[in-house]
Structure 1
Amino acid sequence: MTDLSNRQFLLAKRPSGDVRREDFTYQETPVTALAEGQILVRNKYLSLDPAMRGWMNDGKSYIPAVKLGEVMRALGVGEVLESKNPKFAVGDHLQGALGVQDYFVGGAKRLLQGRYQPCPATALSVCSGHDRHDCLPSAAGCRPAKKR
């Protein structure tokens, strides 16, 4: 699948104040061939959230800052297009730090397989992660009982 072009936004400089377009570099690069253990994922949904602003800052944090020149970090949901990793098959949906780009190529460390069909975007909603149990009744059309 080396004929694919990957549109990417890279962090060009550390923002001062509000984030601006000038803080990023846009580039298109060919998607590289997979090495053993890697997967090719097409990003379907990206979460653009306030945490991203903190990831642009240099300094101590709960997670290392995005380095200048790197693809901007973003959590997303994608579909595996090609796999050289036995844990993932073509067509699998997953979530993780896929970056602000069309395609993610890399190892599967810190990527979570999901059961998101038919709606992969639910992985980025309030129904994902630790809050998922709170949303299941409403997703099933049930209503919680009123408090007495």
Structure 2
Amino acid sequence: MNEIRFYDPRHGEFCALSNLHPRALEYAGQRYATAEHAYQVLKARPALREWLMAAPTAELVAAAGDALAPEQTVDHWYEDHVKIMTGIVRAKFDQHPDLRALLLGTQNARLVEWAPDDSEVARYWGEYQGQGHNVLGKILMGLRHEYRQGRFGA
């Protein structure tokens, strides 16, 4: 198992690695329906947060959040967004032992969010046809390494 590709949040052995996977979590004192909800809500200015929180699926909140105009996005978002995503992903896996076990069970495989459609966002957080930065995959692999080092909840 050299590489694990994931994307579909509801199907497949590693579907829970996706931020779109329907698993609630608490982050910064707030409960969110999914990791994607947390990320997109925190991206938005306060006037839009309740509306984003109410999105019935992670796919819808992702589409809405990705479409936010710069004036609808909190200040310093682009400087802080990877740090925030890392905290959200950590919270998800810290709070769900079964998901943490799934992540640890990936052994040393390269984890890749394998997007079915091409976009700037898809190539930033994952890869499209092998091209992209795979930032989410790198966050997951870093977290897996920390868990192996005994740094749970760090």
TM-score scaled by length of structure 1: 0.23
Report which of the two has the higher share of strand. 1
Report which of the two has the higher share of helix. 2
Radius of gyration: which is bigger? 1
TM-score scaled by length of structure 2: 0.22
